[in-house]
Chains A and B, each alone.
Chain A
């Protein structure tokens, strides 16, 4: 496997742009370099332009703001999708770099939602992580819940409306919610990641505002019942046909609303005075219980539910499944999927005996495996169709 040219794609147009930089540089680029790979960093700026260069693989480039200077001076790269993925730094043909494997480390829209995977499929290059269809389902909370239901996995009761439906007849939408669901509710924009735009609604007077917030971030609104007596856990998984589960992890730093929001996840989150954590520095990973202290049967049940979802959605390579547990009934509900967990959730894999270097190596192996299987499927068919005209 060594000495392959790996393009690590990060940054992007989603709100998780900065998180993606940290994930890529700390948990992917450095481990790949240490294990002897040729790493080509591909930084996607907030405006969507693509850049490459050695300096883009260093975190200080972003911390010091030097990135703006580099972008201002450098021409974006060009790509070719003919016979694999080739990049042309600053658009120059003589600098062409042929990519052996692409490693997207993108969070949120345009990166984690299947868009990038579609492009990489077109380029016919092996890539790490979930394929296009699974990414689309994973990043659409409504579709993911439907897949869960279809596979007999419990998920909190929910309704979904389009933004147009809400704007055209607010009263009808709110009436349906009132008559179908039980408060408290969570109102979510189903495509947004990192808990962006999520509101917990305890009673009807707050509902309209929450719906407006969600509609601001998405063209679909998801409303679901909250799980009472809640224990929230997350289950990192890697693999293709034979997925491997890491330790079930329990975040212990929720906000007062019971939401594990962007600030809590990535910025240390002490400001909202959430329970369970001190004034923090380490983000979510510093406030987790690994493995979650759950009764053995419940713990196994979490692993089982997560694996069922992983297989049902067709996830590949890596993902993280978030689950909600009603601690009184011990029912494990599916909550959502993260097809590219922040920093690969390497902190959890380490406790399972998989080092960060070993983790990226395994992900490359899975990428080759899924690419080989995809390539074995015949997609062309010779006919006389054109001759009839």
Chain B
């Protein structure tokens, strides 16, 4: 009843449009959010509707539907004028707000079938053709986590001696690839593609499209598991890259337990201990980077955490195989910086804040917690809203986070109040965590006032951030 009544307020249509915009017009994601919402007045916490042309068109379509719907009801009442029809009309008017939340996606579904899909198909076909004639060596990066970091590491190190182009930002789907390919100069020596897996069959489709010459699989865990029948299906999907590559070079992250099982004669395992026969030594971790030796080469990386050593080592090894010399590799390493919101350090009030808010998987959490545990600080503060899209693994994964945090025993744990952090909280209590737990109702308010929470000597790690559609 509360959910129904919360629809009956001015601005309800803006809420629906906002939800569509936040889910990037992904109808399935929007419908999932609809099921989760308990009060439509509480949806917009982190942002507001941006009035784009698409939003205006959707609004107009919805308004048109409402007008036609109501006009039809009143017309029938006027024409037939029977008591039972009045009752039916009242019921139809009452269900209108519920109906509207589904009707609003009809233009999107139609647009998808009639315009978007055919257009995307054509663009992808064109891009496939362009790529066939492109001389570049193509590298695919797949995995549940660490892809964007791996991409930036490879782009930086290989870029020390080759002309490299990599898919920008979070682009990891075929249509995005098509746009990226359309913008290529044509003389790139190396092309790097990040393969995102959202549904079964995604990776093999991308392999057919890109036809990579080499691959990196950065790790497998329960990220995006919600879209797969089970973990095996997710693993099989990602490992399609290995099947596709056959005897072509493939690097597997050995720090990821699942991946170690897939090591074969054609693959190279890398981890924080090194890559192939090159071992890492003299590792020094700081809040601003990592130093280590790889064979005879001394490496200074702006990437934080032991978990990032492996990919740097792998990229160095691969660069050597592609013919880059030490000078070129060093030149590439100098350009290597942490990616925004992925273990990115900054100073606030003399405290070090490590922004890892794009980290949305258990392995990433584990690595972050380990880093926070290892680094020295006067006071250690851990901040998280928990993980999303964990499907059936939601409870065990959050219990594991609670266990890790209780063991690490940081001074303060800040939890954004939601169903996931309740599991972490309960785990902390059951394990007699002795530090302070702070439950935050308004994450945005917390982030905006972080300066009031921290002081000189503090080390703060912020892992993951939930946008409105995950609440």
Contact = CB atoms under 8 A, between A and B. Distances in A.
Interface stretch (B3-11, B24-32, B294-302, B446-454): B446-454
B455 A34 contact: no
B452 A355 contact: yes
A353 B455 contact: yes
Interface of A is mostly: helix
Contact of A355 (B439, B446, B454): B454
Contacts of B456: 350-353
Contacts of A351: 350, 455-456
B458 A34 contact: no
B378 interface: yes
A34 B446 contact: yes
Interface in A332-389: 349-358
A34 B457 contact: no
A31 interface: yes
Contacts of A352: 455-456
B449 A349 contact: no
A24 to B, nearest CB: 14
B455 A358 contact: yes
B452 A353 contact: no
Contacts of A30: 449, 452
B449 A353 contact: no
A35 interface: yes
Contacts of A31: 452
Nearest to A346: B452
17 contacts: A31-B452, A34-B449, A36-B439, A350-B349, A351-B455, A351-B456, A352-B455, A353-B379, A353-B455, A353-B456, A353-B457, A353-B458, A355-B349, A355-B452, A355-B453, A355-B454, A357-B453
Interface-central residue, B349, B378, B455, B458, by most chain A CB under 10 Å: B455
A34 B378 contact: no
A355 B445 contact: no
B57 interface: no
A350 B453 contact: no
Contacts of B349: 350, 355
B68 interface: no
A330 to B, nearest CB: 28
In the complex, the 6 A-B pairs of residues with the closest C-beta atoms, listed nearest first = A355-B455, A356-B452, A353-B457, A350-B455, A350-B349, A31-B452
Contacts of B438: 35-36
Interface string B417-438: 0000000000000000000001
Contacts of B454: 350, 355
Interface string A215-244: 000000000000000000000000000000
Given A30-B452, A353-B455, 11 more contacts: A34-B445, A34-B449, A350-B350, A350-B454, A350-B455, A350-B456, A351-B455, A351-B456, A353-B457, A355-B349, A357-B452
A34 B350 CA distance: 20
Contacts of A357: 452-453
Using C-beta atoms within 8 Å of the partner chain, give the interface range for chain B.
10 to 19
Contacts of B449: 30, 34
A282 to B, nearest CB: 14
Interface-central residue, B379, B454, B456, B458, by most chain A CB under 10 Å: B456
A269 B446 CA distance: 32
A194 B457 CA distance: 32
A34 B453 contact: yes
Contacts of B445: 34
B347 to A, nearest CB: 12
Nearest to B457: A353
Contacts of B378: 353
A31 B445 CA distance: 11
Nearest to A356: B452
A32 to B, nearest CB: 10
Interface in A7-35: 30-31, 34-35
Nearest to B454: A355
Nearest to A349: B455
Contacts of B350: 350-351
Nearest to A33: B445
Contacts of A354: 455
Contacts of B451: 356
Contacts of B452: 30-31, 34, 355-357
Contacts of B379: 353
A55 B49 CA distance: 26
A350 B445 CA distance: 20
A353 B411 CA distance: 13
Contacts of B455: 349-355, 358
A34 B349 CA distance: 17
A358 to B, nearest CB: 7
A31 B378 CA distance: 20
Interface-central residue, A31, A350, A357, by most chain B CB under 10 Å: A350
Interface-central residue, A35, A352, A356, by most chain B CB under 10 Å: A356
Contacts of B458: 353, 355
A35 B440 CA distance: 9
A266 B445 CA distance: 27
B128 to A, nearest CB: 53
Nearest to A358: B455
A4 to B, nearest CB: 15
Contacts of B457: 353
A57 to B, nearest CB: 13
A357 B378 CA distance: 16
Interface in A23-51: 30-31, 34-36
Interface in B341-378: 349-350, 378
Interface-central residue, A35, A353, A358, by most chain B CB under 10 Å: A353
A47 B349 CA distance: 38
Contacts of A350: 349-350, 454-456
Interface in B312-367: 349-350
Contacts of A34: 445-446, 449, 452-453
A300 B439 CA distance: 40
Contacts of A349: 455
